[in-house]
């Protein structure tokens, strides 16, 4: 069925995509790659150990989308620190955790976005589109990338909870956010059907 992932015999999933859908997903994945940025060893590609042993950043990103994709590990929105000393301790632990984990998180998100782009580039769509077939491993990469894309778009749309999502359905067609809203909702449908297609 067009636009919905279906399970493949032996694992994985397939979806029929038209050329416009292929173009939209690819464009969004490229934008996500640009937002995440290159790895820390990009300046010295001849030294593979540079990226492996490079420390990550210790401060949260300034961009709200990146802040959502790479959240603080030691912050709890439900519980505020009880004292300035406790707040400082949380910041120190969070900075330390970020320094040792963010590079790996970024690499994983880059790999997922690249897997999406490569899978789409390997298609040979005709005027009606093409059927994308994913292995179980590629399906997991697609799930990660679709999740990241929805998070990024959701932050740009300032979606904080389900009530915000409900309001988006009622936006008039002339609202400049409408194309982004449609992409957000469509990606959510893709993600949901991919999850169901991979269930045993």
* Residue (of 10, 18, 8) closest to 130 by Cα position: 18
Q: Are 198 and 7 in contact (CB under 8 A)?
A: yes
111, part of any domain: yes
Distance CA 89, CA 125 (A): 54
Please indicate, yes or no, if residue 184 is contained in any of the structural domains.
yes
48: pLDDT strictly greater than 80: no
Percent of residues, the chain, with pLDDT higher than 90: 46
Euclidean distance between CA atoms 187 and 183, whole angstroms: 6
Look at residue 1 and tell me if it is in a domain.
no
Residue 194 domain flag: yes
Is 78 among the domain residues?
Answer: yes
Residue 187 belongs to a domain: yes
pLDDT, tens only, 175-189: 888 899 999 999 999
Q: Which pLDDT belongs to residue 78?
A: 56
pLDDT tens across 70-87, in order? 887 755 555 665 667 766
Please tell me which residue, 9 or 165, carries the higher pLDDT value: 9
Domain containing 125 equals 6-198
pTM over cut 0.75? yes
Number of domains in the chain: 1
Helix or strand (DSSP H, E) at 7: strand 6-7
Cβ neighbours of residue 100 closer than 8 Å, sequence gap 6 or more:
55, 56
**Nearest CA among 39, 67, 29 for reference residue 149:** 29
């Amino acid at each position: 069925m067009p636009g919905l992932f279906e399970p493949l015999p032996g694992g994985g999933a397939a979806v029929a995509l038209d050329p416009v859908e292929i173009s939209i997903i690819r464009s969004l994945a490229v934008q996500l790659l640009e937002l995440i940025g290159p790895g820390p060893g990009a300046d010295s590609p001849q030294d593979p150990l540079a990226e492996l042993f490079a420390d990550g950043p210790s401060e949260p990103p300034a961009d709200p989308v990146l802040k959502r994709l790479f959240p603080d590990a030691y912050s709890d929105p439900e519980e505020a620190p009880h004292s300035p000393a406790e707040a400082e301790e949380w910041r120190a632990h969070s900075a330390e955790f970020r320094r040792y984990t963010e590079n790996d998180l970024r690499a994983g998100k880059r790999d997922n976005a690249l897997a999406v782009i490569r899978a789409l580039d390997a298609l040979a769509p005709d005027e009606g589109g093409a059927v994308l077939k994913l292995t179980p491993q590629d399906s997991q990469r697609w799930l990660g990338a679709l999740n990241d894309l929805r998070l990024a778009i959701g932050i740009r749309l300032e979606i904080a909870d389900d009530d915000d999502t409900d309001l988006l359905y009622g936006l008039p067609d002339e609202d400049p956010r409408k194309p982004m809203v449609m992409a957000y909702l469509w990606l959510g449908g893709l993600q949901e059907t991919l999850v169901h297609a991979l269930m045993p």
